[in-house]
Structure 1
């Protein structure tokens, strides 16, 4: 983590005309997690190491609003590794009085992508703070988004898996427009009730709303960038830039695609099955 942070920080400064440092590489993987029949032939998982070092180094790809944060956060808790979302890092900076806040606000409110230099700088700060707390391994969410970012990451660490979450665009737009945040506790909710019938060979999708508790109901707000115009622009830009990144990781045997079949209750157990991971808590609640 510390080596990755140092390399990212040096890369960000190099982009401003300064020199960089040589990368250091490490590969870590969890005990008991191995390739299962549902992983697909495109993914090669690394050999496990000493028990104290076996933490995942994963990346989550997917369109804005697909649910990367939800599933990455759940998996991070299950596997005991930090979930680092660059979108959250940007929003934290936006809510601060830091020098980047105004510049980021103009970028985000237009639905544009934040520059590589800014993202790398924010990520390196987060990794430095995590390393100081003894964090090991990671699930990156929202990085890399460009070939350049992917090449930078490849220069310092050997990822175990790149998981690409997929959801049809009409459902994505409806889902994004239903997002709400509690202005008091910061909780994320969704008021959209999505039910799309299957047609033309495409399966139907149902996603129940994720409603807030009663004490949050009157405090819900909509993110300023969650308008239909901005959401469509974010998806257009993402789709334009994501294909080369997906091809980059496919060529390296790292990419695993997962089509979300519905909401959390439908998708979570299927995702665990695809990753060959057992969640005893989920089994117990399902059996109750």
Structure 2
């Protein structure tokens, strides 16, 4: 952990101010998909956004964090990817991580902090500025470590009903040749008690990838439900921690990417930013 503190304090990722500093201090209740606030813009000079994406496994943190990373020109750092890279590397942590992941358990703070430390060092060497964290922090201890070394501008908490999350996780597939991810689940959850219907079309692979699809070893119904249960048990204090600081924005996904992406941009007050970037290209 000392290494993370040392790297973070010296890194350009942890400068003061922000180009797009976003907080839930200005609350907008206009959207039915928001709970706890929208995002306000404050222009500054020294760095890019420093955001965190929270949400249950399978909710789509990586998808939306990656899109925002591209839109805003900041690195998307996903601890899940860091874990999978370590698993594939046959490094010293590989066997230990394999046992933890296959049992649906949370990876320890020490391991996650170690992996994040290495990623921050690599980013520092490349002169990266700002970040969108995906999957970190997951515990109060991790949040406190992060809070000691940097200012987090905004924490976006993505939400979906549990039955949708289970179906999404079980539908995940990866092409073992090109490495791209797909989802074969077709979701149509009828709305009840005033809640809207949630419909998501499958994200099917092209013909050349169809015969090369593989399923993650930890994407079984038993393991998925165990991960969701553990996440729900540990996420409450974390959400309350950021809510008390006025930095938590809860966002109920209304459907798949076509429905959710424009709504998320609107909630982040970035709905015109994509158009401006396209016009400038």
TM-score, normalised to structure 1, is 0.86
2:44 alignment counterpart? 49
Say yes or no: does 1:221 pair with 2:221. Answer: no
Q: How does 1:1-288 map to 2 (within 5 A)?
A: 9-10=3-4, 26-30=15-19, 37=28, 42=37, 47-50=42-45, 53-277=46-270, 278=272, 279-280=274-275
Q: Secondary structure at the match of 2:89?
A: coil
Q: Distance in 1 between matches of 2:63 and 2:149?
A: 27
Q: Is the 8 A contact 2:8 2:150 kept in 1?
A: no
TM-score, normalised to structure 2, is 0.88
Compared with structure 1, are the counterparts of its residues 8 and 258 closer, same or farther at alpha carbon in structure 2 (3 Å cutoff)? farther
RMSD: 2.6
Q: Distance in 1 between matches of 2:39 and 2:115?
A: 30
Q: Is the 8 A contact 1:225 1:231 kept in 2?
A: yes
**Alpha-carbon deviation of 1:97?**
1.4
Q: Secondary structure at the match of 2:19?
A: coil
**Alpha-carbon deviation of 1:10?**
4.9
Q: Is the 8 A contact 1:65 1:175 kept in 2?
A: yes
Q: Distance in 2 between matches of 1:32 and 1:244?
A: 24
**Alpha-carbon deviation of 1:213?**
1.2
Stretch deviating more after TM superposition (40-49 or 88-97): 40-49
Q: 1:4-35: CA deviations, max 9, x gaps?
A: xxx76256xxxxxxxx8995763342259796
Q: Secondary structure at the match of 1:65?
A: coil
Q: Distance in 2 between matches of 1:30 and 1:36?
A: 20
Q: Is the 8 A contact 2:78 2:134 kept in 1?
A: yes
Q: 1:161-194: CA deviations, max 9, x gaps?
A: 0000000000000010000000011101000010
Q: Secondary structure at the match of 1:162?
A: strand
Q: 1:236-257: CA deviations, max 9, x gaps?
A: 0000000000000001010000
Stretch deviating more after TM superposition (200-209 or 72-81): 200-209
Q: Distance in 1 between matches of 2:35 and 2:170?
A: 33
Q: Distance in 2 between matches of 1:49 and 1:10?
A: 26
Q: Distance in 2 between matches of 1:77 and 1:245?
A: 27
Q: Is the 8 A contact 1:86 1:119 kept in 2?
A: yes
Q: Is the 8 A contact 1:45 1:161 kept in 2?
A: no
Aligned length: 268
Stretch deviating more after TM superposition (36-45 or 99-108): 36-45
